[in-house]
Amino acid sequence: MDKVQRVVIAGGGTAGWIAAASLSRLLGKSLSVTLVESDDIGTVGVGEATIPPIRTLHKLLGINEKEFLQQTNATFKLGIQFEDWGQIGDSYIHSFGITGKECWAGEFHHFWLRGQREGMTAGFGEYCVEHEAALAGRFSLSPQQPLNFAYHLDAGKYALFLRGIAEKAGVKRLEGKINHVGTCPQTGHITHLILQSGERIDGDFFVDCTGFKGLLIEQALHTGYDDWSHYLPCDSALAVQTDVHKDPQPYTRSIAHDAGWRWQIPLQHRMGNGLVYCQRYLDDQQAEQRLLDAVDGQPITSPRLIRFKPGKRRKGWHKNCVALGLASGFIEPLESTSIHLIMTGVVRLMRLFPFEGVTQAAIDEYNNKLDSEMACILDFITLHYCATERDDSPFWRHCQSMEIPDSLRHKIQLFKDTGRVFLDDGDIFRVDSWTQVMLGQRIKPRQYHRIANEMSDTEFEGFMSGLRQQVKHKVESLAKHGEFLNQLRG
């Protein structure tokens, strides 16, 4: 129950500097924060797509959006376009906006399902401004036409940007490789780090941002790891950057192939590309050639191989150590949740921060919330793989028949039977997100809530056409995404 005043962050990168910037800017009067990292140790640095809650943390940190966009070469993101997932030739967008209007008894998709039964042909996304703006390549920050958006960003430059914020707030950065993690023989708590240089860094609380190896949380504290490979078959990724010769679109592309999927993430100055795959169905050499054959533009880096094991640490907080980023686990990059999990972990830690000493109650609360959050994300990501009609390759035939979590099986069956989506407490994705993906992956409800039938035919037709017209007018008033970025840069 020793008071916590000295926080030591092991590792830099996105996770380390998000933690350092947050703790120093928001709790800096009560804490001294030291970050240890080595220039000789690279970071994964390919988590370049985000989801909308990143903007909340930016507001807490007082980040100037224009400065952030300029220093990280960021673009705006209204959603993710999924291609060839349900069947080859399919395409849908998981957008970040609100679709249509809901009522007390049922969300908007129940009204849309009534329209489908009555012969209306408009797609579900045509009732969402963000969906239609993404397809049209339009964007604006106008208060009169607010959009729900996230960013594509250069992860390396983002870490440097956050480092500047953290160091201005008093964070001390130490250069060097960690050679030893010292623990107390009686309690097992971490007491200090020793660098290769022999320098000793003492602390009261430690944040592990050392990536997949989990130097503190796993190698020193032995928390264990839950392997989720039986739900998520992909275990490898290749990343390469290419030049660009056209305006960036305001969405991420996720294109399925016969052994996984590949991404395209547009930044202001380049395109981020990657191929995610399962080694059992595609070897590294074939994967690299497939990626290079598929990219737009000329490569400006060599393809970089990343191995990963989907899953999570059994304890995100153990004794006096919290793991963030890849040190705490990794699901996979399909829905851009990696940076989000860093941010929610930091915020959760700050809300439970053990100023007067570490308590088991705080540890349990942190880990329970983390487990719930990770389980919901696991369900959502697994949905993309298991809800497919593709049978053109051994990989997709495996996905059709593989084991899935019981919670996901219930959600899918509930949607099929009733058209309903009920969210768990830890779910970061809204009903609209679940609905867009399930409909996009060809899961169709057998019924809809009869609240949608309370309107007369004339009222219903006016209601639906009015919503579409509102969306159309809003999208037409937005600027072209590329032109808007140019104005911001100017």
Mind listing the pLDDT tens digit for each residue in 356-392?
999 999 999 999 999 999 999 999 999 999 999 999 9
pLDDT value of position 328: 97
- Pick the closest to residue 16 from 58, 54, 45 (CA basis): 45
Residue 41 has pLDDT above 80, yes or no: no
As a residue count, the chain comes to: 490
pLDDT value of position 70: 93
Query: Tokens at residue 402, please?
Result: 């593989």
CB 334 within 8 A of CB 78: no
Per DSSP, the three-state class of 23 is: helix
pLDDT value of position 215: 98
pLDDT value of position 46: 63
What is the distance between the alpha carbons of residues 256 and 136, in angstroms, rounded to a whole number? Answer: 22
Query: If one looks up domain 6-48+154-229+310-358 in CATH, what number appears?
Result: 3.50.50.60
pLDDT value of position 43: 66
Q: Given the structure tokens 């729900």, which residue do they identify?
A: 148
Start-to-end Cα distance in the chain: 53
Residue 230 confidence class, pLDDT cut points 50, 70, 90: very high
Per DSSP, the three-state class of 307 is: strand
What is the distance between the alpha carbons of residues 197 and 442, in angstroms, rounded to a whole number? Answer: 58
In order, the DSSP letters of 110-121 are HHHHHHHHTT--
pLDDT value of position 2: 86
Residue 44 has pLDDT above 70, yes or no: no
Residue 245 has pLDDT above 90, yes or no: no
Query: Tokens at residue 128, please?
Result: 């969402």
What is the distance between the alpha carbons of residues 174 and 37, in angstroms, rounded to a whole number? Answer: 6
pTM metric for this prediction: 0.95
DSSP category for residue 171: P
pLDDT value of position 33: 98
User: Which region among 173-187, 340-354, 433-447, 476-490 has the lowest average model confidence (pLDDT)?
Assistant: 476-490
**H or E element, residue 357:** none
Give Cα 419 to chain centroid, integer Å: 26
In the chain, CATH 3.50.50.60 sits at 6-48+154-229+310-358
pLDDT value of position 471: 97
Over residues 168-211, the pLDDT tens digits come to 999 999 999 999 999 999 999 999 999 999 999 999 999 999 99
How many other C-beta atoms are found inside a 10 Å radius of the C-beta of residue 213?
Answer: 13
Residue 487 has pLDDT above 90, yes or no: no
**H or E element, residue 427:** none
Count of alpha carbons within 13 angstroms of residue 304, beta-carbon side = 14
> What is the pLDDT of the chain when averaged over all its residues?
95
Over residues 402-461, the pLDDT tens digits come to 999 999 999 999 999 999 999 988 899 999 999 999 999 999 999 999 999 999 999 999
Contacts (Cβ under 8 Å, ≥6 apart) of 136: 475, 478
What is the distance between the alpha carbons of residues 379 and 357, in angstroms, rounded to a whole number? Answer: 35
pLDDT value of position 21: 98
pLDDT value of position 102: 85
- Active site (catalytic) residues: 77
pLDDT value of position 201: 98
CB 479 within 8 A of CB 139: yes
